[in-house]
């Protein structure tokens, strides 16, 4: 069995999120089994984004001990056609506490990969926390069977989530949320098990806030900017529909101009054209030696508190302290990611 060891959180190190995406992109697997102690929307979205556009079926086994797994996660996965949801609660004297991702193929019994980690299915657990883990790649049918037996042992702890159990758990979750010892009375945020934050009012932190994304090689001199599907709900765009969406943009000068989000069938992204009337949009991509260079800026779309469906538009340099703060706040705000791995990817976030 081929074994690789991982340490997350060190300088230049990889993350569990990167590893999951790399395994999916190899195209060898079409099934995924996930067993974790705790899950948040940020962590689940990392997995769902990785398999987007691919024919994957996922079996989830999520722990409910300590009431840290978010009810919103259970509701999200309950209705997905590509997902089979199971839950487990072993308390009060012991905990369901694994962190296992099993990738396998329904067409080739020999193909199996077992990613074992210390990180939970949370944004912090898969990206930010100092974690350690191992990737076990099966080389034979017998080794693949070992993976399957391990999963069968785990899934035996689980049960299907009923409407009654979900209702009970929502009550448990709200009660536990109020009593979290680390929560500041003056703060609007509650702290979850992996150090992640959420609104005390069960509101997504990213709503009514800031969305940002690197511009890089955007068309129209950097003004044709595309946003990945993961950001759809935070931009007020339809999750399923593809009809153009009209919005208003306000620049630093205060003028409001109309703009349109258009869905692109070829890559599943939403594109918006930033009009020239927005200050700073004329210097997003500069030329050097006669060639147009990638942009060194990120665009920010912030909610305009004075008008509905209106975004305040601004730009920041990628090497600035302000940009570094954006990255940190997005990581704490439940949504941060990269459009694709490697040099061609663009960072994005919401808080």
Going by the DSSP 8-state scheme, the letter that residue 139 receives in this structure is: -
**34-63: average pLDDT:** 93
**Domain co-membership, 20 together with 146:** yes
- What pLDDT is stored for residue 176 in this prediction? 85
- What pLDDT is stored for residue 202 in this prediction? 45
**Domain co-membership, 157 together with 55:** yes
**Domain co-membership, 273 together with 320:** yes
In a domain, residue 270? The reply is yes
Each residue's pLDDT tens digit, 280-314: 998 899 989 889 999 999 999 998 776 667 899 99
Local confidence band at 169 (pLDDT 50, 70, 90 cut-offs)? very high
Domain boundary among 178, 197, 221: 178
Q: Which of 22-26, 225-229, 332-336 is least confident?
A: 332-336
In a domain, residue 223? The reply is yes
Token readout for 193 is 């098990």
In a domain, residue 252? The reply is yes
Domain boundary among 162, 178, 194: 178
Please name the residues in contact with 341: beta carbons below 8 A apart, sequence gap of 6 or more. Answer: 18, 21, 22, 25
Each residue's pLDDT tens digit, 226-263: 999 999 988 988 877 788 998 999 887 677 888 999 99
In a domain, residue 203? The reply is no
What percent of the chain is modeled with pLDDT above 70?
Answer: 89
**Which candidate, 120, 117, 114, 106, places its Cα nearest to that of 149?**
114
Each residue's pLDDT tens digit, 187-218: 444 555 555 555 454 433 333 489 999 999 99
CATH of the domain at 306: 2.40.330
**Domain co-membership, 162 together with 18:** yes
pLDDT greater than 90 at residue 92: no
In a domain, residue 16? The reply is yes
Q: How many CB atoms lie within 10 A of CB 219?
A: 12
In a domain, residue 56? The reply is yes
**Domain co-membership, 168 together with 245:** no
**Domain co-membership, 30 together with 170:** yes
**Domain co-membership, 248 together with 339:** yes
Average pLDDT across the chain, whole number:
88
**Domain co-membership, 156 together with 257:** no
Adjacency order of strands within the sheet including 112-117: 2-8, 131-137, 112-117, 99-104, 31-36, 57-63, 83-88, 159-160
Domain that holds residue 15: 2-178
Each residue's pLDDT tens digit, 147-156: 999 999 999 9
- What pLDDT is stored for residue 193 in this prediction? 55
pLDDT greater than 70 at residue 180: no
**Domain co-membership, 307 together with 225:** yes
Q: How many CB atoms lie within 10 A of CB 271?
A: 17
**9-24: average pLDDT:** 86
**324-346: average pLDDT:** 88
Highest mean pLDDT (candidates 84-93, 116-125, 135-144, 258-267): 135-144
**Domain co-membership, 47 together with 128:** yes
In a domain, residue 189? The reply is no
- What pLDDT is stored for residue 233 in this prediction? 86
What percent of the chain is modeled with pLDDT above 90?
Answer: 61
**Domain co-membership, 153 together with 238:** no
Q: Omega into 114 within 30° of 0, i.e. cis?
A: no
Is 223:249 a contact under the CB 8 Å cutoff?
no
Rounded Cα–Cα distance for residues 190 and 203 (Å):
11
Number of structural domains found in the chain = 2
**Domain co-membership, 83 together with 164:** yes
- What pLDDT is stored for residue 184 in this prediction? 44
pTM for the predicted model, two decimal places: 0.59
Domain boundary among 135, 162, 178: 178
pLDDT greater than 80 at residue 97: yes
Each residue's pLDDT tens digit, 107-123: 999 999 999 999 999 88
pLDDT greater than 90 at residue 177: no
Each residue's pLDDT tens digit, 65-80: 999 999 989 998 998 9
In a domain, residue 194? The reply is no
Q: How many CB atoms lie within 10 A of CB 30?
A: 18
């Amino acid at each position: 069995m081929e074994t690789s060891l991982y340490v997350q959180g060190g300088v230049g190190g990889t993350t569990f999120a990167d590893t999951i995406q790399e395994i999916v992109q190899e195209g060898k697997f079409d099934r995924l089994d996930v067993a974790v102690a705790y899950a948040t929307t940020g962590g689940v979205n990392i997995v769902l984004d990785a398999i987007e556009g691919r024919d994957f079926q996922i079996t989830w086994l999520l722990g409910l001990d300590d009431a840290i797994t978010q009810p919103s996660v259970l509701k999200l996965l309950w209705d997905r056609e590509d997902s089979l949801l199971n839950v487990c609660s072993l308390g009060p004297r012991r905990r369901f506490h694994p962190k296992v991702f099993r990738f396998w193929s329904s067409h080739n019994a020999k193909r199996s990969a077992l990613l074992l980690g210390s990180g939970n299915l949370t944004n912090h657990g898969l990206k930010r926390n100092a974690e350690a883990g191992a990737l076990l790649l099966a080389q034979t049918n017998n080794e693949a069977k070992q993976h399957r037996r391990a999963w069968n042992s785990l899934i035996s702890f689980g049960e299907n989530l009923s409407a009654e159990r979900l209702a009970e758990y929502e009550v448990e979750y709200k009660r536990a949320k109020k009593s979290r010892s680390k929560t500041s009375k003056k703060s609007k945020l509650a702290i979850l098990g992996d150090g992640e934050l959420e609104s005390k009012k069960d509101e997504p932190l990213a709503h009514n806030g800031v969305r940002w994304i690197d511009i890089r090689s955007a068309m129209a001199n950097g003004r044709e900017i595309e946003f990945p599907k993961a950001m759809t709900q935070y931009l007020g765009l339809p999750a399923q529909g593809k009809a153009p969406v009209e919005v208003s943009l306000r620049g630093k000068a205060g003028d409001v101009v109309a703009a349109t989000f258009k869905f692109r069938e070829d890559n599943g992204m939403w594109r918006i054209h930033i009009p020239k009337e927005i200050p700073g949009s004329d210097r997003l991509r500069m030329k050097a030696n006669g060639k147009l260079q990638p942009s060194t800026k990120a665009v920010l779309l912030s909610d305009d508190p004075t008008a509905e469906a209106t975004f305040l538009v601004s730009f920041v340099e990628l090497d600035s302290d302000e940009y570094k703060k954006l990255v940190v706040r997005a990581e704490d705000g439940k949504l941060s990611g990269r459009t694709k791995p490697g040099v061609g990817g663009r960072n994005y976030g919401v808080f």
